[in-house]
């Protein structure tokens, strides 16, 4: 592979070449009609400072680590300098927020620098989040603060290494500016450190990118965007036509189902599954108040705004994804004008998710295949016992792999033998009643019998389970500790977590302090449990 310098990056920028632009070039907040984007330049910052970069993302852009550590890298990815070929813009889109149509939304604090074609011929869009006001900023300033930027930077890469489709993060840069934010929406704003993340993805197009044009009756623009999307991101489907539009919708549904299965596998909760936060490529996009289940509580949401309705809680994510796909189907209907095939595809989403979910649960348990006759009851009871007392989901599945399924007679085993491997998963084990213990032991017996039916050795089962059940996830308290240090000028923990999360399925014995339950002090602390959308 031939490495590039910043000045030799090859920009293609097909998005702005093929799609209609906002004719107004002044940067002020407004309704933008009959356009997919507006030209806008990043706001220059006073003292940009590199906090961290990811070598894997630099590599897909064919940039060396040495290139990323040059002063010019900071100038470019803080928005202070535009490279030749960069034509920055912000995109127009709408969306349903918490189930209600919100009208025009758009890139309110994200500015696209352009699309790079790397040495392998792949397209990568570069986007600065927090780089200043755009026509879509509404009443906001278009900036981002350090705490939210650290969370997005780390989580983008954590998800990638977990094997979950996601946008990526190239760099995290401190701007040298102060930004006013009301973190708790309680009327007490304060100055915070400003920061910018460079996000990288094949495309940042969302469900809402199409919705805005259907809502406004701009069907010709809708078709332009659809045809561009198919030719650029779904070229394997063929030239655009009503039949290809249906094939495209089918693939979007399939990718979305696969994404939610992945989230479920690791206990991830997005927190803001609005249609403007749903990628047509099936990527995890827009990391706001996300979180991992510390204890297995299916109705948990990390979003304080969602605390009452829990629309976006862990257990509802598949349902909400389907609801969002229904909105997308209604959006593309004017191009297809056939209700039945769209409905048939929507119906297939539930089957796709269920099939993927069953396969995923089999993998988490280290089995060969899902056998409905036994496994429906086995999994249903498992999810029930996880809720008997506060149980750490991540630790439970890792410790479950340690259960000895090659044990002789069950009558030879005492309570300690049954329970000992999984005891670390309970936050307050003293709350386990004798009935709870009996129920868990009975489930473990059923599980061991099921493993034996498949004829799987302990070694094979543990290898399987540990390849899909992570040992390390980005728990909110971990991210908050890194933020606390960074706000004091110490960026070491950001890079430490970045390295840790590169190998989430490995034991990493020297990092065992991160493979434990959430500490009690973090139970209700701001940033460690639920979060607001404030950024």
Cα separation, 436 vs 415, in Å, equals 12
Which H/E stretch holds residue 474? none
Identify each DSSP E strand in 92-235 by its residue range: 94-97, 100-104, 110-117, 123-129, 168-181, 190-201
* CB of 482 closer than 8 Å to CB of 497: yes
Q: Of 408, 429, 410, whose CA–CA distance to 420 is shortest?
A: 429
* CB of 147 closer than 8 Å to CB of 192: yes
Q: What secondary structure letter does DSSP report for 41?
A: P
Cα separation, 125 vs 198, in Å, equals 10
* CB of 272 closer than 8 Å to CB of 501: no
- The long-range contacts involving 525-529, CB below 8 angstroms and separated by at least 24 positions, are 525/477, 525/480, 526/183, 526/184, 527/147, 527/476, 527/479, 527/480, 527/483, 528/476, 528/477, 528/480, 529/291, 529/302, 529/476
Catalytic residues: 276
Coil, strand or helix: which one is 49? strand
List residues bridging with 173 in a β-sheet: 50, 196
* 3-class secondary structure per residue, 350-369: HHHHHHHHHHHHHHHHCCCC
* CB of 165 closer than 8 Å to CB of 255: yes
Bridging pattern class, strands 268-269 and 100-104: unpaired
Cα separation, 119 vs 4, in Å, equals 9
Cα separation, 487 vs 39, in Å, equals 33
Identify each DSSP E strand in 267-329 by its residue range: 268-269, 291-292
* CB of 112 closer than 8 Å to CB of 91: yes
């Amino acid at each position: 592979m031939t490495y590039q310098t910043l000045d030799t990056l090859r920009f293609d920028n097909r998005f702005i070449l093929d799609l209609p632009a906002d004719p107004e070039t002044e940067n002020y907040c407004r309704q933008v009609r009959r356009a997919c984007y507006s030209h806008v330049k990043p706001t220059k910052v006073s003292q940009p400072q590199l906090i961290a970069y990811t070598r894997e993302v630099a590599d897909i852009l064919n940039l060396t680590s040495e290139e990323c550590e040059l002063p010019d890298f900071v100038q470019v990815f803080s928005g202070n300098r535009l490279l030749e070929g960069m034509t920055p813009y912000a995109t127009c889109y709408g969306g349903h927020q918490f189930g209600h149509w919100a009208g025009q939304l758009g890139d309110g604090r994200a500015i696209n620098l352009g699309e790079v074609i790397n040495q392998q011929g792949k397209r990568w869009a570069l986007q600065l989040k927090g780089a200043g006001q755009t026509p879509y900023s509404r009443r906001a300033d278009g900036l981002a603060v350090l705490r939210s930027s650290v969370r997005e930077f780390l989580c983008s890469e954590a998800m990638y290494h977990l094997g979950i489709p996601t946008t990526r993060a190239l760099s995290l840069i401190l701007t040298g500016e102060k930004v006013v934010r009301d973190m708790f929406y309680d009327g007490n704003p304060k100055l915070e450190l400003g920061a910018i993340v460079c996000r990288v993805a094949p495309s940042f197009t969302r469900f809402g990118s199409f919705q805005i044009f259907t809502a406004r009756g701009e069907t010709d623009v809708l078709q332009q965007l659809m045809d561009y999307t198919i030719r650029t991101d779904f070229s394997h489907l063929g030239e655009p036509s009503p039949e290809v539009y249906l094939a495209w919708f089918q693939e979007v549904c399939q990718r979305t189902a696969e994404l939610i299965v992945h989230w479920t596998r690791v206990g991830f909760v997005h927190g803001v599954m609005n249609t403007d936060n749903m990628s047509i490529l099936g990527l995890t996009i827009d990391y706001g108040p996300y979180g991992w289940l510390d204890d297995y509580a299916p109705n948990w949401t990390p979003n304080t705004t969602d605390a009452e309705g829990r629309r976006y809680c862990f257990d509802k994510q598949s349902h909400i994804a389907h609801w969002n796909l229904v909105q997308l189907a209604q959006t593309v209907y004017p191009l297809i004008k056939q209700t039945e095939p769209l409905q048939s595809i929507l119906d297939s989403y539930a089957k796709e998710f269920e099939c993927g979910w069953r396969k995923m649960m089999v993998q988490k348990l280290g089995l060969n295949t899902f056998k409905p006759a036994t496994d429906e009851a086995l999994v249903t009871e498992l999810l029930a016992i996880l809720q008997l007392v506060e149980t750490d989901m991540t630790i439970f599945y890792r410790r479950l792999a340690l259960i000895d399924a090659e044990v002789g007679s069950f009558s030879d085993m005492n309570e300690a033998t049954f329970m000992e491997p999984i005891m670390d998963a309970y936050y307050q084990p003293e709350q386990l009643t004798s009935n709870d213990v009996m129920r868990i032991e009975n489930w473990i017996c059923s599980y061991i019998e099921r493993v034996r039916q498949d004829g799987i050795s302990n070694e094979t089962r543990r290898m399987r389970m540990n390849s899909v059940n992570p040992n390390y996830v980005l728990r909110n308290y971990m991210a908050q500790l890194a933020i606390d240090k960074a706000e004091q000028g110490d960026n070491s923990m950001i890079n430490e977590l970045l390295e840790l999360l590169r190998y989430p399925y490995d034991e990493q014995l020297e990092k065992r302090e991160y493979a434990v339950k959430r500490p009690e002090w973090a139970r209700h602390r701001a940033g460690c449990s639920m979060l607001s959308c404030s950024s």
